[in-house]
Structure 1
Amino acid sequence: MVIEGGPGTWKSVMAVNLLVNLINEGLTALYVSKNSAPRNVYASKLKGTMKKTQIDNLFKGSGSFYESEKNEFDVLIIDEAHRLNEKSGLFSNLGENQIKEVIHSSKFTLFFIDENQKVTLKDIGSIDLIKKYANELNAEFAQGKLSSQFRCDGSDAYIAWLDDVLQIRKTANANNRGVDYDFRVYDDPNDMLREIEELNKKNNKARMLAGYCWEWPKNGRSNTLHKDIQIPEHHFQISWNLSDSIWAIEQDSVSEAGCIHTSQGLEFDYVGVIIGPDLLYQDNQVKTDYTKRAKTDQSLKGIKTMAKEDPAKAQALADQIIRNTYRTLMTRGQKGCFIFCTDPELNGYFRERLNRSVVYQDLSPRQGEVAAEERREY
């Protein structure tokens, strides 16, 4: 079964609650995701009096099933199914196809998916491909959709507005970003960090995020004095998250920045997003530049080789991934999203779109009545 749902439709919440309920029914069920960050956070939250290994064994990576027996499990719950890869293993040389493998391994496989959140060249998860392997393995296929919005202050308007602003797709929400969602554009990243730190004091649910445009070296990753992200013109510096496992819920990690790989599948109350030089504004267009991505980021691994063979295809794929990445980062906040762009022109563009939306929303009831009356007269 495939369940579609955009950001904030509580796919992961449903997935974890299903896991608990299925286990209580005596079924052998696992939560599966490509990204380790949500697995580690959910496992940490569920640990109480149970042994660590008992909980950890319920959360598996998507590359764990290439040697599994047919119908070895009762239920596999695949979260972030759009992130599934073809091959498994450290060198991507194991198994045949992760979608096929999880269907083969379980009597019932449930996929939660948002095809607009593919953020690497290896991400192959799609509804069409799931259907293909379901048919190949003689599995019954069903499909559903989550439409209620629980993040972004319960507003689909913000997500539609963001799609329009990022020029992912034209929507009817060119100016309407929702009434209550707190979206801000900062000219100084230091101010944005201070606000995130202040908001985090309430309940430890505010975090800094950044596009993967700064190197993330293995050496010194646990050194708090090493600042990976540096923006000299603003005297700003911050480290990438020091803990890969539970950075999202560690009390002291508010002054570190997470990337797409450590935040996708998770949610916070507020996020401060540093938009790097891979996204820019030129000639009245939002554009992308994949050459500005850090070498340590594996999301676009192989894009240069592809560009030599088919430049147009490489540019189109990289463009989609970069826009999807920022869309995903900018929808992690349940109550608000703050941004700072390293490209001043892009910062100005976001501010203009924000101001346009504020003017659009600030019509008083009386002004709205007058406008409606004018339309009727016209």
Structure 2
Amino acid sequence: MIIYSSDKDGFCSDILQGSIEDKIHTLMQQRGLHRVGASEVRSWENSLKYMHLVMEGSRIPGSAGISIEYHIPNSGKRIDFIISGKDKDEKESVVIIELKQWQEAKKTDKPSIVTTRFLHGEREVPHPSYQAWSYSRLLEDFNETVQENEISILPCAFLHNYPNDGVINDTFYREDIEKAPLFLKNDILKLREFVEKWVRFGDDSNLLYRIDNGKIRPSKSLANHMVSLLKGNKEFTLIDEQKVVYESILSLVGKSKAKSKDVIIVEGGPGTGKTVLAVNLLVEILNRGKLCQYVTKNAAPRAVYEAKLAGHMKKSQISNLFIGSGSFTEASENTFDALLVDEAHRLNEKSGLFNNLGENQIKELITAAKVSVFFIDEDQRVTLKDIGRKDEIKRWAKFHGASVHEMELTSQFRCNGADGYLAWLDHTLGVRETANQNMDGVDYDFQVFDSPRDLFKTIIERNKVSNRARIVAGYCWDWKSKKDSAEYDIEIPEHRFKMKWNLASYASLWILDPNSVTEAGCIHTSQGLELDYIGVIVGPDLLVRNGLVVTVPEGRSKMDQSIKGYKSLSKKNPEQASKLVDGIIRNTYRALMTRGMKGCYIFCTDPETNAYFKECLGASVPQKYTSNRGMLKVADAAKKYRPKKKVSR
């Protein structure tokens, strides 16, 4: 997405008129990027004046293209400054510049990572050259126009306030600086020469608009690149805090000792790269001669990865890499150098088929490893048995005398990189209040269908492209077809619609088999995995009544184990029971509606709920839907609106 666009002459004119930062701010708001702080506006005012010094009086042609704050497709990242044109051979080229106002930094012992001071203190961040290079890789990976037209992408970093202190340009960062040249306070002329080399002629072919409107390459599927990853190939470029977390964990694993355990908690929402990071760490730790395993409670991701690796590795080797969270009840102390626990919010207290083995999965995982890494998103806890919370992990870390390290992932690489969509979804589902009350300016394909038949047809069409579209539903219908294949499960008579849950024969591989597109998945077969498009049937367990989004546990199938024990808990502590189950139902639909990287299509069995989602897509959420939100009030409303008769399943 282009925010500010002009040519060199137009940019210089905007600078001289003193209007550049206001113009960019207005354009950001028009494109739905409302959260622009005063510090960011000041950074434009300061940094762009230095870019004016680079451009003014140079041999860079006046018709060279200029773009500021370019939004990279399929990510939540923006490139500070782009100059487009042609080189001496008239080959199209783009120079991308990462601008920093830094005045100092400190060297670390982690590749590509430095420490610098921000408003709220010092923190570790990627070296500016690495950051510029990683953004260029995103642009190359996601844009077919760049690939097909062989457009040269030249990254660099410009720290216009930073003196040459021998730290930021230390030989330790040589590899980063070779990939993306670094220009400091006294390097304005050197940066000018660099740009002049690659932009000798102007942009007479609307290069930036062609890139922006070009076909977007599909995001890489982790499962499809699993074999290449395990062979040591760098399939995924780690961006910003992903790189910091990656290098920090490797550093801790390298220094680990049996007598001093480390427990690492990595928080991140849907699509922030938790699983990609975990698998990349698995490969690198193993390559360093350390004993490591990828652990997850969810069977579906493990089954998918194992299926992709079949024929490339022995089954025993695969089983030693990807393992269930209940496998450590009898593990000896410090058996592993590291355990990478993905989807840690789904961990259970007990293990085994009948939940009768072991004491506590978190305790057992920490016991078994010198370094245990828990990748967590508490808003994806979807059953009453899920115990994966930060405070629970910290409790067992303290029990073991382990050091706790907390880290966070925020960069969004699912839902087309649309942070706004996730914020809107949380607000709309009542998970949390956000400022995103509409989908204006959000580049994500979200649609509400009036008929499940139309939803089904659309998903079938989407699936023809690359077998990456599926329908899922809330677990509000009994799984009758499990025992009788002639039976249908999800039946909506008023729409003459019926569908089966995914066949038992597909099990956890439902998401891979092309024939399974005619069956519906649920949270248990889709969580931890991603598709291009997801279709979600919202059942009677989530309703909108009189402006309130309410949850109705009785709308769930009796076969669903997610809220098993709810009734007995209600007798002991009704308020706690309502709060827990309310969160589980909301989190379930939040997880389902974030499986699609490109789009999410929904149909609600309740007409009023369907109308609510439609209206929430508009310019503003209707006032009738914005009042009386809150956990306790919603829980009370849920009691009021529970159906008196059993929901037809």
Q: If the length of structure 2 is used for normalisation, what is the TM-score?
A: 0.54
Q: Which residue number corresponds to residue 345 of structure 1?
A: 608
**Aligned partner of 2:265: which letter?**
V
User: Matched residues in 1 for 2:616 and 2:336: separation?
Assistant: 49
Higher-RCO chain (CA-CA 8 Å, sequence separation at least 6): 1
Question: How has the CA–CA distance of structure 1 residues 66 and 177 changed in structure 2, closer, same or farther, with 3 Å as cutoff?
Answer: farther
> For 1:347-362, what aligned pairs fall within 5 Å after superposition?
347-356=610-619
Which residue of 286, 295, 311 maps to 2:558?
Answer: 295
Question: How has the CA–CA distance of structure 1 residues 275 and 326 changed in structure 2, closer, same or farther, with 3 Å as cutoff?
Answer: same
Q: Is the 8 A contact 2:292 2:340 kept in 1?
A: yes
* Runs of 5+ consecutive residues of structure 2 not aligned to the other structure: 1-263, 623-649
Which residue of 315, 337, 346 maps to 1:83?
Answer: 346
**Aligned partner of 1:87: which letter?**
K
The answer to whether residue 444 in structure 2 is matched with residue 185 in structure 1 is no
> For 1:41-120, what aligned pairs fall within 5 Å after superposition?
41-120=304-383
**Aligned partner of 2:454: which letter?**
D
Which residue of 11, 21, 25 maps to 2:284?
Answer: 21
Q: Which residue number corresponds to residue 169 of structure 1?
A: 432
Q: Is the 8 A contact 1:158 1:178 kept in 2?
A: no
Residue deviations 1:182-218 (CA, integer Å, cap 9, x gap) = 0000010011111101011111111100000011247
Q: Which residue number corresponds to residue 241 of structure 1?
A: 502
Question: How has the CA–CA distance of structure 1 residues 349 and 50 changed in structure 2, closer, same or farther, with 3 Å as cutoff?
Answer: same
1:153 aligns to what SS in structure 2?
A: helix
2:427 aligns to what SS in structure 1?
A: helix
**Aligned partner of 2:423: which letter?**
A
**Aligned partner of 1:240: which letter?**
W
Q: Which residue number corresponds to residue 229 of structure 1?
A: 490
Question: How has the CA–CA distance of structure 1 residues 79 and 273 changed in structure 2, closer, same or farther, with 3 Å as cutoff?
Answer: same
Q: Is the 8 A contact 1:159 1:177 kept in 2?
A: no
**Aligned partner of 1:20: which letter?**
V
User: Matched residues in 1 for 2:432 and 2:313: separation?
Assistant: 46
What is the CA RMSD across the aligned residues, in angstroms? 1.6
Residue deviations 1:136-173 (CA, integer Å, cap 9, x gap) = 11212111111100001101100000011111111011
In the TM superposition, residue 13 of structure 1 has moved relative to its aligned partner by 1.5
Q: Which residue number corresponds to residue 194 of structure 2?
A: none
The answer to whether residue 281 in structure 2 is matched with residue 10 in structure 1 is no
Q: If the length of structure 1 is used for normalisation, what is the TM-score?
A: 0.91
Q: Is the 8 A contact 1:66 1:96 kept in 2?
A: yes
Which region of structure 1 is more displaced relative to structure 2, 201-210 or 301-310?
301-310
Q: State the aligned residue count.
A: 357
Residue deviations 1:248-299 (CA, integer Å, cap 9, x gap) = 1111111111100111101111000000000111111111100111111100
Question: How has the CA–CA distance of structure 1 residues 91 and 192 changed in structure 2, closer, same or farther, with 3 Å as cutoff?
Answer: same
Residue deviations 1:98-135 (CA, integer Å, cap 9, x gap) = 10100000111111000111100011111111111112
Q: Is the 8 A contact 1:120 1:299 kept in 2?
A: yes
Q: Which residue number corresponds to residue 135 of structure 1?
A: 398
Q: Which residue number corresponds to residue 336 of structure 1?
A: 599
Q: Is the 8 A contact 1:274 1:340 kept in 2?
A: yes
User: Matched residues in 2 for 1:3 and 1:327: separation?
Assistant: 20
User: Matched residues in 1 for 2:440 and 2:328: separation?
Assistant: 42
Question: How has the CA–CA distance of structure 1 residues 296 and 350 changed in structure 2, closer, same or farther, with 3 Å as cutoff?
Answer: same
**Aligned partner of 2:492: which letter?**
I
State the 4+ residue runs in structure 1 displaced beyond 4 angstroms.
none
The answer to whether residue 571 in structure 2 is matched with residue 308 in structure 1 is yes
The answer to whether residue 514 in structure 2 is matched with residue 260 in structure 1 is no
Higher CA-based Rg: 2
* Runs of 5+ consecutive residues of structure 1 not aligned to the other structure: 360-378
Which region of structure 1 is more displaced relative to structure 2, 187-196 or 9-18?
9-18
User: Matched residues in 1 for 2:580 and 2:552: separation?
Assistant: 12
User: Matched residues in 1 for 2:565 and 2:605: separation?
Assistant: 26
Which region of structure 1 is more displaced relative to structure 2, 127-136 or 143-152?
127-136
Q: Which residue number corresponds to residue 123 of structure 1?
A: 386
**Aligned partner of 2:330: which letter?**
E
User: Matched residues in 1 for 2:440 and 2:347: separation?
Assistant: 31
